[in-house]
């Protein structure tokens, strides 16, 4: 199966319909139905999306109208998304984890006329605020719900039941144009209300026509979608990218079920945020801690073997026969066990959406699994650069995509000029003008807000967010994210926030990983009432002192954490301490724990 000719299939709907037409009997999607994995062909994918599209048109939806989806990642999400785009409407996604007020802001700001919601829980949010959303005409619910006599609330199955196929769906696809807007993507920004990046067909096609070949993604590959599709990363890698070679996607039952689902379906490509890989890394470390002396010995020997092999490969030196033999033994006893955690078939993994600790990439490399770190943002349709097979430099975010230019400003900020750059934020001229600056030749440089540099081989390195950089009282520039990522490689640390701007030394707030700290307490027979009580136990505090001391050994003296505080509970999105993509809102957290932070000094 050849990929579409993007000169002809120059829009998302046209690329989608190319696969529906040319590989209608091949599998596009997998989802769990009553405990069993069921496949869906491209033909079935197209037929259901068409039904949804026709039902939307019958409901009065016109091209350019905005339609919201408020749901976890699931098959119905992409079916509706594709239907919305195919009839020329605009998808305005909402994070399923958003509070009622956050949902209200996005639904109102986007001018949405209709909403798809997942279940009773999400419907309840809408019912609470519907009187303040006069533009919302109908709500369609994916799962069965009660009560059923609500006006303008319709079950999904009933919504698509009776539609008249008048040929308008295919005509609208054929009429689609590259400059037409297909979606808003609301930034999960760490300050203020989210901004709506306006994504058009040209942005998406400009991105996907290069990325699969760069990453060696093939028709036979299988990935698992589980991160929020309201975020650009999963939307790109779990949804849009398959419009090139038509590879299949399995939809996890939930984020919590993702590890089990991954083992069940055996993906060949695993995409995750750093937090996902940190969790896997921590669980492996905990498992080794519980192993027998012989198991630990074999494991440690296998790790050292992996280090030796990786070191030679990085220097492009040949591997000796003895090391090949040792690697084969290590693979049998250890590497394959690690691979089995991901279903046993993984070819490589991709990390994005936030910086990942190089320590984790190195570790999986020793286990013979490559993690390719990439870099992008909502405003660049998800990607600017990436590491890829044969072109990897750990610690960097790789080399830029074709047609993408990067410039480093005097203060280190990264500017990008590329076809995947958005042209505006919806209804926010001020923010648009801050984001995009004219180059004098008819195009624009996008100001990323990230600080970094490019080495002599064209690899991009990200230091930190420009506004997050800490300058200590001694004048040292410190990137807090790097230190936080290092701290989170401890299995006992869930989240960390480093503090110390204009201070003589760095300090940190640390939250406990509930599973690991509970196991620690159980193994030591500690009696405690709850997590808050546990956070004050001397044995627990000593554990965190050891963990911080161990991580400090890997840092320059001015980067080390001199004091820290273990919080009673984890940072919480409902308290506005985390974005939907689990980034810490520094301003909120700093204000909330101001007394603790100032007492450090």
Going along the chain from its start, the domains and CATH numbers come out as 469-599 (3.30.300.30)
Indicate the length of the chain as a whole number.
601
Q: What is the pLDDT of residue 149?
A: 82
pLDDT of residue 188 exceeding 70: no
Digit-coded pLDDT (tens) for 515-526? 999 999 999 999
Looking at 120-129, 197-206, 283-292, which range is the least confident one?
Answer: 283-292
Rounded to two decimals, what is the model's pTM?
A: 0.87
Give the pLDDT of residue 593.
Answer: 95
Q: Is residue 290 very low, low, confident or very high in pLDDT (cuts 50, 70, 90)?
A: confident
* pLDDT value at 226 more than 80: yes
Give me the pLDDT at residue 431, please. 92
Mean pLDDT, range 141-152, rounded to an integer: 85
Q: d(Cα 451, Cα 469) in Å, to the nearest integer?
A: 9
pLDDT digits (tens, 9 = 90+) for 246-280: 999 999 999 999 999 999 999 999 999 888 998 89
If one counts every other C-beta atom within 10 angstroms of the C-beta of residue 144, the result is 11
Most confident among 71-80, 276-285, 487-496, 586-595 (mean pLDDT): 71-80
Average pLDDT over residues 476-493: 89
Average pLDDT over residues 147-175: 90
- Residue 194 to residues 56, 445, 465, 471, 478, Cα–Cα distance (Å): 27, 22, 17, 27, 27
* Span 494-512, average pLDDT: 94
Specify the pLDDT at position 317. Answer: 79
Give the tens place of pLDDT for each residue, 423-455: 999 999 999 999 999 888 888 999 999 999 999
Q: Give the 3-state secondary structure of 276-323.
A: HHHHHHHHHHHHHHCCCHHHHHHHHHHHHHHHHHHHHHHCCCCCCHHH
pLDDT at 190 over 70: no
Residue 482's pLDDT band, with cuts at 50, 70 and 90, is confident
Distance between CA atoms of residues 164 and 528, nearest Å: 63
What is the per-residue pLDDT for 93?
97
Cα–Cα distance for residue pair 25/576, rounded to 1 Å: 45
pLDDT at site 192: 67
* Matching residue, tokens 């036979």: 220
User: Would you state the pLDDT for residue 474?
Assistant: 82
CA dihedral (243, 249, 251, 256) positive or negative: negative
Q: Model confidence over 505-559: pLDDT tens digits? A: 999 999 999 999 999 999 999 999 889 999 999 999 999 999 999 999 999 889 9
Q: Per-residue confidence at 471, pLDDT binned at 50, 70, 90?
A: confident
Question: What's the whole-number mean pLDDT along residues 165-181?
Answer: 95
From the list 232, 282, 288, 227, the residue with the least C-alpha distance to 256 is 227
Strands 27-33 and 248-251: parallel
Per-residue confidence (pLDDT) for residue 559, from 0 to 100: 92
Contacts for 300-306 with beta carbons within 8 Å, 24 or more apart? 301/330, 302/330, 302/333, 302/334, 302/335, 303/334, 303/366, 305/330, 306/330, 306/335, 306/365, 306/366, 306/367, 306/368
Return the SS3 of 563: strand
Q: Residue 1's pLDDT is what?
A: 55
pLDDT band at residue 191 under the 50/70/90 scheme: low
The label of the residue with tokens 């990218």 reads: 241
pLDDT at position 163, please? 81
Neighbours of 157 (CB within 10 A): 12
Q: Find out whether 140 and 114 touch, Cβ atoms under 8 Å.
A: yes
């Amino acid at each position: 199966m050849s990929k579409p000719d993007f000169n002809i299939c120059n829009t998302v709907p046209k690329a989608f319909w190319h696969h529906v037409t040319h590989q209608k009997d091949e599998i596009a999607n997998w989802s769990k139905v009553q405990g069993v994995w069921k496949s869906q062909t491209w033909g079935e994918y197209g037929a259901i999306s068409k039904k949804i599209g026709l039902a939307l048109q019958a409901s009065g939806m016109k091209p350019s109208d905005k339609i919201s989806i408020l749901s976890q990642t699931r098959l119905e999400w992409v079916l509706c998304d594709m239907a919305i785009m195919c009839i020329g409407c605009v998808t305005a996604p909402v994070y399923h984890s958003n509070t009622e007020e956050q949902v209200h802001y996005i639904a109102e700001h986007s001018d949405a006329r209709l909403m798809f919601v997942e279940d009773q829980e999400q419907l309840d949010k809408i019912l609470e605020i519907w009187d303040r959303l006069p533009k919302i005409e109908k709500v369609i619910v994916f799962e069965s719900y009660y009560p059923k006599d609500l006006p303008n609330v319709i079950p999904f199955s009933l919504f698509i039941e009776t539609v008249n196929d008048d040929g308008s769906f295919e005509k609208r696809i054929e009429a689609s144009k590259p400059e037409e807007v297909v979606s808003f993507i609301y930034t999960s920004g760490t300050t203020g209300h989210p901004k709506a990046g306006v994504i058009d067909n040209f942005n998406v096609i400009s991105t996907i026509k290069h990325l699969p070949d760069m990453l060696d993604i093939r028709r036979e590959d299988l990935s698992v979608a589980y991160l929020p599709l309201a975020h650009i990363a999963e939307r790109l890698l779990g949804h849009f990218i398959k419009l090139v070679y038509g590879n299949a996607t399995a939809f996890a039952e939930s984020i919590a079920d993702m590890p089990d689902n991954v083992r069940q379906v055996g993906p060949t490509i695993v995409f995750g945020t750093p937090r996902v890989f940190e969790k896997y890394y921590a669980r492996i470390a905990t498992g080794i801690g519980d192993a027998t002396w012989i198991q630990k010995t074999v494991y440690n020997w296998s790790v050292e073997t992996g280090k030796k092999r990786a070191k030679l490969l990085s220097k492009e030196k040949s591997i000796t026969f003895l090391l090949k033999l040792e690697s084969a033994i290590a693979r049998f006893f250890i590497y394959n066990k690690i691979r089995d955690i991901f279903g046993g078939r993984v070819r490589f993994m991709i990390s994005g959406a936030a910086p990942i600790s190089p320590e984790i990439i190195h570790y999986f490399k020793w286990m013979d699994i490559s993690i390719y770190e990439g870099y992008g943002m909502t405003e660049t349709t998800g990607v600017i650069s990436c590491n890829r097979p044969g072109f990897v430099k750990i610690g960097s975010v790789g080399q830029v995509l074709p047609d993408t230019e990067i410039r480093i400003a005097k203060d280190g900020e990264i500017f990008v000029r590329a076809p995947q750059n958005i042209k505006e934020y919806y209804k926010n001229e001020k923010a648009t003008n801050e984001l995009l600056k004219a180059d004098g030749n008819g195009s624009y440089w996008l100001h990323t807000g990230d600080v970094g540099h490019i080495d002599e081989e064209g690899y991009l390195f990200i230091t930190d967010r420009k506004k997050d950089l800490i300058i200590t009282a001694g004048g040292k520039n410190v990137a807090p994210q790097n230190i936080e990522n290092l701290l989170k490689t401890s299995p006992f640390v869930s989240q960390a926030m480093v503090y110390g701007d204009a201070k003589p030394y760095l300090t940190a707030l640390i939250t406990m990983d509930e599973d690991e700290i509970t196991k620690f307490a159980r193994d030591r027979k500690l009696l405690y009432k709850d997590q808050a009580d546990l956070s004050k136990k001397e044995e627990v505090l000593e554990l965190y002192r050891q963990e911080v001391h161990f991580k400090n050994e890997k840092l320059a003296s001015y980067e080390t954490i001199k004091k820290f505080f273990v919080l009673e509970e984890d940072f919480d999105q409902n308290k506005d301490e985390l974005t939907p993509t689990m980034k810490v809102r520094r301003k909120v957290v700093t204000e909330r724990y101001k007394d603790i932070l100032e007492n450090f000094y």
